[in-house]
């Protein structure tokens, strides 16, 4: 093959003089050229070896050769699974369908993989079942094509050993535990399931999101108390103590495994998914990958039980260990861990993947999606029978049904095309590469550009990985007031964190790009006077395996006199060639309406990973904003409006000294009313990488995604009034009474002993339908601080979401003291949660001042519509003199004194303040006492007469009540306690003793002399007897053995768990029949007139049964009300 002007051809035989073998020189060259590694060496022609070797030495600096066919990108995890053989042996690149090239990118989590599939950065990927469920619920452009495995015990919640059960993680006089997990992963699902099953909610545990590598680092540093993790991260936590501590209760301990969660009906696994585009255009390659993966799993299912092919010291196991650890020489412990982790998964056959009774993937997906909805991971409700077909359509079975047994059943050892010793190339960072290779070789520099152009890049050479944790900057200045023109020739990065950002001379964002791009799709960027380019990467490396692509970025800066074009709304780029918004645009607000858009008119979907901003200024005091189109993904993509002209973080080169105040946030498809704000304002639009299609109210996708927002200045006070602007007790930059919900910050000027605020705007929450999701409202107020001892709250309307059995919510009103800067400071001094009844609260605390901030932050959804709240607040004071400031002398709304006026009346100046939800009135106490004594006594006489008549009436009703009591008594009489055990004659006698066995792994079967086929090893007699006793007595667990070989047995679940490693094994209980016990009566034959299908009851001593109908022959019909525990074998 010819590359860069010289020729390589492979030959067998000895290497010619002057030519080194591939492992000395040409292995690196072959890697750069995309050549397969085999047993061949390479001979160079012509015979001028030294010249050609010199040219070969330059290869690392050259770009990788482009794939001659389809470049296939597949996302994988670092899991210890059989399909690692396909990846690490480079099987698909050495045995191609046509001329395609296969590259496997290791992903930190499935949540990122679904975005890459949807946007085209990946063609296929292994996904956890819950990220896949999230993608299906969010209408991602992908399908599942096979089931890779069920999780079994391969994932778990691992914590410090001091935590015995999930409830220990919740605060009980100590700080709540911090638990980490990758977001939207199957382990995220497990974490939420543990919280829900323990009857806790999201406020009980500090749940943080980290990648597996970050989890291991945080565990070692002692900054987390545990994590839901898998693979090497899980094993690392089990093998290494928390924070390096020597304490026994800081060792890693498996608290809850995926198999336990599955018993709670939270089943998890992995699927193989492909993008819709790849399935439509390359179904043959989809089938090829699925068949290869299925062959390795079939081989594992067969050989792990019948041969040593998958033993811990086998070639196959070592290849999987190399994949999991990315080490050329895994340690003995790593190979043992790999062997045990492989056995934790449950691998389904192709036949079982197509059977709903084995795995009903559509139902499992919909159930997972709804649980994510309840746990605030998804904004849209994915439940309902009308959506069943939607989830069924997301499982494309055509690939599996098209396979034949010859595609996946031949064992690997019989295939001459497969070699476990063949080594695929792995993309790694090379220390000798410069961190960032700008034109001067420095990490950051100022460059004066010329018309000829200057090239700059990330610094990686050839197919090396680019550097992690970089923040490189180039500042370009053109001569003489010209423009800087930037042309990006290559961008191959990991979205969403690694990418390029371009800023203008004022620090405003001009453009941001992330992910894998076709350079032809990237627009040119042009800036006047100056431009700064920033290249940023995170700490994670995808470590591509197989055919290595040239990653990183390369761009050219040049000087030009041509100004960028004036683009229509939603267009960008130097020549308006990009049909989507980019960066920050300065907009002047004229009296006539102007428009900003997410994408060009006629473009159906907005861009993934959008980051756009508009600075709207005005010559008048106010600006009006009106949405004419809004169809963006609910809860994930947002249009936000900020106070002032300052760009928030992410839209400027340097973060602002203080973040601008958020005034309003819009998401979903409901058009807000016309909005009016104090000018200027800064509008932003941000989208994530998945599902950039909105959903209509009927649940169907909206093909016209995006938004259109018109703005204009308001030129006169009459114009302002005409647009519904109002001022109330609270002042805010937002001036719109038409809103039915709170938003942004509201300030009450002055010092007031009491006041009120509402989640609604301009009206009571009683008139609202459902408060908005993902909305934050803050109220700044001050009460007198002399003698202040706390705060008191009453709610005439309190309809806020509460955590339930399966629903966790963070919706609450939290009260903070104001800091020196006026912002919330420290921990909340009061928290008002949904479900509190009655809705009145008193909080005692030592206040540092009378200044407070009330914060209401709603989460991603309300499964049941909630109106919100109207709240009245008052200061609490510790003495009568302090009470004169107000506060405790407030009465409830217009009547009964929930805040005791009687006791505090002298301190209130003789009046009782009676607040309403919107205002207050004063009542003279003298008038109040006159009303009480003038009306109460006559009223008491009337009540006495009425009571006499009522008493006669109630006596008549008592007869009916006695009849009901008689019926209840009869129902109790119908209950019987079993005092003698009876076994029906038609049933066999109850079991006697039992023998217990544990399941051994196939490669170790030869070490046991006494086996019950095919793989059961008997416990010794004393252990077996102890297990049977615990089984009969209904014990949950029993410990056997001594450390480090100590095991926890779950007799009812038939599981044995290694206390040190968390490794699980199946158990077998073999019962032996016993003679009928002397004290067990044999039941009489069934009466001939009783239906043969009528079930018979087995009576145990201590059980309670309810007799429904007694027959004269001694038989009865009834039901079992309470079953007695098993206390003796046979009873």
365-402 pLDDT, tens digit per residue, is 998 888 888 878 888 888 777 788 889 999 999 999 99
Among 147-161, 184-198, 857-871, 905-919, which stretch is predicted with the lowest mean pLDDT?
Answer: 905-919
Q: What is the pLDDT of residue 699?
A: 57
Tokens of 380: 């849209």
Q: Alpha-carbon distance 22 to 596, whole Å?
A: 58
Q: Alpha-carbon distance 666 to 636, whole Å?
A: 11
Q: What contacts 26, CB < 8 A, 6 or more positions away?
A: 20, 41, 42, 56
Average pLDDT over residues 953-982: 57
List the one residue out of 80, 77, 85 whose CA is nearest residue 316. 85
Asked if 790 contacts 868 with a C-beta cutoff of 8 angstroms, the reply is: no
Residue 961, pLDDT > 50, answer yes
Q: What is the pLDDT of residue 592?
A: 62
Q: What is the pLDDT of residue 399?
A: 95
Q: Considering only residues 702 and 957, tell me which one the structure prediction assigns the higher pLDDT.
A: 702
Helices (H), 815-924: 880-883, 901-904
Q: pLDDT for 581-617, tens place per residue?
A: 999 999 876 656 689 999 998 888 899 999 999 999 8
Tokens of 637: 């993509």
Average pLDDT over residues 1002-1026: 79
Residue 1101, pLDDT > 80, answer no
Residue 722, pLDDT > 60, answer no
Q: Considering only residues 720 and 1051, tell me which one the structure prediction assigns the higher pLDDT.
A: 1051
Q: Alpha-carbon distance 513 to 502, whole Å?
A: 9
Q: What is the pLDDT of residue 677?
A: 85
Q: What percent of the chain has pLDDT over 90?
A: 36
Tokens of 1006: 């030869």
Indicate the pLDDT class of residue 18, thresholds 50, 70 and 90.
very low
Residue 952, pLDDT > 70, answer no
Q: What is the pLDDT of residue 1003?
A: 60
Could you tell me how far CA 454 lies from the centroid of its own chain? 43
φ, ψ dihedrals at 272, nearest 5°: -100, 125
Average pLDDT over residues 624-631: 90
Average pLDDT over residues 732-761: 79
Q: What is the pLDDT of residue 491?
A: 96
Q: pLDDT for 330-365, tens place per residue?
A: 999 999 999 988 988 889 999 999 998 889 999 999
Q: What is the pLDDT of residue 575?
A: 92
Residue 437, pLDDT > 60, answer no
Residue 93, pLDDT > 50, answer yes
Q: What percent of the chain has pLDDT over 70?
A: 76
According to DSSP, residue 1099 is labeled B
Q: What is the pLDDT of residue 48?
A: 36
Q: What is the pLDDT of residue 200?
A: 80
Q: What is the pLDDT of residue 88?
A: 95
Q: Alpha-carbon distance 825 to 726, whole Å?
A: 30
Residue 913, pLDDT > 50, answer no
Q: pLDDT for 865-884, tens place per residue?
A: 899 998 888 887 764 433 33
Q: pLDDT for 1052-1093, tens place per residue?
A: 788 888 876 677 788 998 876 544 444 445 666 777 777 666
Residue 970, pLDDT > 60, answer no
Q: Alpha-carbon distance 732 to 755, whole Å?
A: 16
Asked if 890 contacts 899 with a C-beta cutoff of 8 angstroms, the reply is: yes
Q: What is the DSSP string of 574-610?
A: TTS-BSB--EEEEEEE-SS-EEEESB-TT--SPPTT-
Residue 59, pLDDT > 60, answer no
Residue 1044, pLDDT > 70, answer no
Q: Alpha-carbon distance 459 to 287, whole Å?
A: 38
Tokens of 607: 């861009």
Q: Considering only residues 795 and 942, tell me which one the structure prediction assigns the higher pLDDT.
A: 795
Q: What is the pLDDT of residue 590?
A: 60
Q: What is the pLDDT of residue 49?
A: 37
Q: What is the pLDDT of residue 700?
A: 62
Q: What contacts 936, CB < 8 A, 6 or more positions away?
A: none
Residue 1027, pLDDT > 60, answer yes
Residue 411 three-state SS? coil
φ, ψ dihedrals at 453, nearest 5°: 95, 150
Task: Compute the Cα dihedral for 98, 101, 107, 110 and give only its sign.
Answer: negative
List the one residue out of 141, 105, 224, 129 whose CA is nearest residue 185. 129
Q: What is the pLDDT of residue 204?
A: 83
Asked if 190 contacts 198 with a C-beta cutoff of 8 angstroms, the reply is: no
Residue 54, pLDDT > 70, answer no
Average pLDDT over residues 443-447: 65
Average pLDDT over residues 569-587: 93
Residue 746, pLDDT > 70, answer yes
List the one residue out of 162, 135, 29, 41 whose CA is nearest residue 691. 135
Q: What is the pLDDT of residue 318?
A: 94
Asked if 205 contacts 157 with a C-beta cutoff of 8 angstroms, the reply is: no
SS (H, E, C) 476-516: EECCCCCEEEEEEEEEECCCCCCEEEEEECCCEEEEEEECE
Q: How many helices (H) and strands (E) does the chain have?
A: 24, 56
List the one residue out of 811, 810, 740, 818 whose CA is nearest residue 779. 818
Residue 407, pLDDT > 90, answer yes
Asked if 49 contacts 433 with a C-beta cutoff of 8 angstroms, the reply is: no
Q: What is the pLDDT of residue 523?
A: 95
Q: Alpha-carbon distance 1129 to 991, whole Å?
A: 7
Q: Highest-confidence range of 374-378, 436-440, 946-950, 1004-1008, by mean pLDDT?
A: 374-378
Q: pLDDT for 256-304, tens place per residue?
A: 888 888 777 778 889 999 999 999 999 999 999 999 999 999 999 999 8
Q: What is the pLDDT of residue 160?
A: 93
What's the whole-number average pLDDT of the chain? Answer: 79
Q: What is the pLDDT of residue 611?
A: 96
Asked if 82 contacts 299 with a C-beta cutoff of 8 angstroms, the reply is: yes
Asked if 99 contacts 36 with a C-beta cutoff of 8 angstroms, the reply is: no
Q: Alpha-carbon distance 29 to 902, whole Å?
A: 92
Residue 1019 three-state SS? coil
């Amino acid at each position: 093959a010819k590359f860069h002007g010289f020729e390589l051809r492979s030959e067998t035989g000895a290497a010619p003089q002057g030519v080194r073998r591939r492992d000395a020189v040409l292995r690196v060259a072959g890697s750069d050229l995309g050549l397969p590694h085999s047993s061949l060496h390479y001979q160079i022609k012509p015979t001028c070896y030294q010249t050609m070797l010199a040219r070969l030495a330059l290869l690392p600096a050259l770009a990788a050769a482009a794939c001659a066919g389809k470049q296939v990108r597949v996302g994988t995890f670092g899991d210890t699974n059989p399909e690692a053989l396909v990846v690490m042996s480079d099987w698909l690149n050495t045995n191609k369908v046509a001329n395609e090239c296969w590259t496997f990118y290791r992903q930190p989590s499935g949540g990122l993989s679904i975005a890459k599939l949807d946007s085209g950065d990946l063609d296929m990927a292994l996904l956890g079942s819950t990220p896949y469920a999230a993608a299906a619920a969010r209408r991602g452009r992908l399908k599942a094509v096979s089931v890779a495995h069920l999780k079994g015990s391969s994932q778990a919640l691992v914590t410090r050993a001091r935590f015995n059960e999930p409830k220990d993680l919740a605060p009980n006089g100590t700080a709540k535990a911090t638990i980490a997990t990758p977001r939207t992963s199957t382990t995220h699902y497990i974490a939420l399931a543990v919280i829900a099953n323990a009857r806790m909610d999201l406020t009980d545990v500090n749940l943080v999101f980290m990648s597996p590598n970050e989890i291991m680092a945080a565990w070692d540093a002692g900054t987390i108390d545990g994590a839901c993790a898998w693979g090497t991260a899980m094993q690392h936590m089990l093998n290494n103590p928390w924070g390096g501590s020597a304490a026994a209760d800081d060792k890693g301990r498996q608290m809850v495994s995926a198999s336990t969660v599955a018993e709670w009906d939270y089943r998890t696994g992995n699927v193989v998914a492909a993008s819709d585009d790849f399935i439509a255009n390359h179904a043959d390659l989809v089938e090829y990958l699925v068949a290869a993966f299925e062959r390795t799993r079939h081989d594992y299912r067969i050989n792990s039980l019948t041969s040593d092919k998958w033993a811990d010291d086998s070639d196959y196991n070592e290849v999987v260990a190399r994949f999991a650890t990315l080490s050329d020489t895994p340690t003995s412990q790593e190979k043992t861990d790999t062997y045990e982790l492989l056995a934790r998964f449950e691998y389904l056959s192709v036949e079982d993947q197509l059977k709903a009774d084995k795995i009903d993937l559509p139902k499992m997906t919909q159930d997972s999606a709804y649980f994510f909805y309840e746990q605030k991971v998804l904004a849209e409700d994915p439940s309902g029978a009308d959506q069943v077909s939607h989830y069924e359509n997301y499982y494309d079975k055509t690939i599996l049904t098209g396979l034949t047994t010859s595609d996946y059943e031949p064992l690997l050892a019989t295939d001459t095309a497969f070699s476990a010793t063949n080594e695929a190339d792995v993309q790694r960072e090379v220390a000798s590469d410069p961190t960032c290779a700008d034109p001067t070789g420095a990490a950051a520099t100022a460059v004066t550009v010329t018309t000829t152009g200057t090239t700059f890049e990330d610094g990686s050479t050839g197919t090396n990985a680019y550097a992690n944790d970089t923040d490189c900057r180039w500042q370009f200045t053109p001569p003489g007031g010209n423009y800087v023109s930037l042309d990006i020739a290559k961008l191959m990065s990991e979205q969403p964190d690694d990418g390029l950002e371009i800023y203008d001379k004022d620090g405003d964002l001009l453009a941001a790009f992330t992910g894998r791009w076709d350079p032809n799709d990237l627009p040119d960027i042009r800036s006047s006077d100056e431009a700064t380019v920033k290249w940023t990467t995170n700490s994670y490396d995808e470590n591509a395996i197989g055919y290595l692509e040239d990653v990183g970025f390369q761009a050219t800066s040049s000087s030009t006199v041509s100004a960028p074009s004036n683009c229509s709304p939603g267009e960008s780029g130097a020549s308006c060639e990009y049909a989507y918004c980019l960066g920050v645009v300065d907009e002047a607000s004229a009296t006539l309406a102007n428009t900003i858009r997410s994408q060009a008119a006629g473009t159906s979907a907005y861009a993934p990973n959008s980051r756009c901003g508009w600075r709207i200024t005005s010559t008048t005091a106010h600006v009006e904003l009106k949405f004419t189109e809004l169809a963006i993904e609910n809860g994930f993509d947002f249009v936000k409006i900020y106070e002032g002209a300052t760009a928030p973080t992410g839209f400027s080169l340097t973060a602002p000294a203080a973040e601008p105040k958020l005034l309003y946030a819009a998401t979903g498809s409901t058009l807000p009313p016309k909005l009016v704000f104090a000018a200027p304002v800064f509008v932003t639009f941000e989208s994530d990488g998945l599902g950039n299609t909105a959903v209509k109210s009927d649940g169907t996708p909206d093909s016209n995604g995006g938004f259109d927002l018109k703005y204009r200045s308001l030129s006169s006070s009459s114009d302002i009034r005409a647009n519904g602007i109002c001022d109330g007790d609270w002042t805010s930059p937002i001036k719109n009474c038409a809103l039915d919900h709170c938003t942004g910050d509201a300030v009450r000027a002055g010092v007031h002993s009491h006041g009120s605020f509402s989640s609604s705007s301009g009206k009571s929450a009683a008139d609202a339908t459902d408060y908005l999701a993902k909305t934050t409202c803050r109220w700044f107020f001050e009460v007198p601080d002399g003698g202040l001892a706390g705060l008191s709250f009453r709610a005439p309307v309190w309809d806020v979401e509460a955590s339930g059995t399966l629903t966790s919510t963070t919706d609450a009103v939290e009260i903070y003291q104001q800091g020196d800067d006026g912002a919330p400071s420290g921990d909340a001094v009061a928290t008002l949660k949904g479900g509190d009844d009655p809705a009145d609260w008193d909080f005692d605390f030592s206040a540092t001042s009378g200044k407070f901030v009330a914060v209401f932050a709603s989460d991603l959804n309300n499964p049941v519509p909630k109106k919100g709240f109207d709240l009245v607040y008052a200061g609490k004071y510790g003495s009568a003199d302090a009470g004169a400031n107000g506060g405790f002398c407030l009465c409830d709304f217009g009547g009964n004194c929930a805040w005791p006026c009687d006791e505090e009346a002298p301190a209130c100046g003789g009046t009782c303040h009676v607040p309403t939800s919107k205002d207050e009135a004063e009542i003279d106490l003298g008038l109040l006492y006159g009303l009480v004594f003038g009306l109460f006594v006559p009223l008491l006489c009337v009540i006495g007469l009425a009571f006499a008549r009522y008493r006669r009436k109630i006596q008549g009703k008592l007869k009916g009540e006695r009849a009901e009591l008689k019926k209840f008594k009869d129902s109790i009489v119908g209950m019987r306690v079993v005092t003698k055990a009876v076994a029906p004659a038609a049933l066999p006698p109850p079991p006697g003793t039992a023998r217990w066995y544990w399941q051994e792994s196939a490669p170790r079967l030869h070490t046991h002399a006494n086996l019950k086929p095919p793989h059961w090893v008997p416990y010794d007699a004393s252990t077996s007897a102890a297990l049977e006793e615990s089984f009969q007595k209904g014990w949950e667990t029993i410990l056997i053995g001594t450390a480090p070989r100590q095991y926890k047995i779950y007799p009812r679940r038939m599981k044995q768990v290694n206390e040190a490693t968390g490794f699980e094994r199946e158990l077998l209980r073999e019962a032996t029949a016993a003679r009928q016990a002397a004290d067990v009566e044999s039941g009489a034959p069934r009466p001939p007139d009783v239906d043969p299908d009528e079930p018979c009851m087995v009576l145990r001593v201590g059980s309670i049964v309810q007799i429904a109908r007694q027959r004269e022959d001694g038989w009865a019909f009834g039901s079992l009300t309470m079953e007695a525990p098993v206390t003796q074998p046979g009873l």
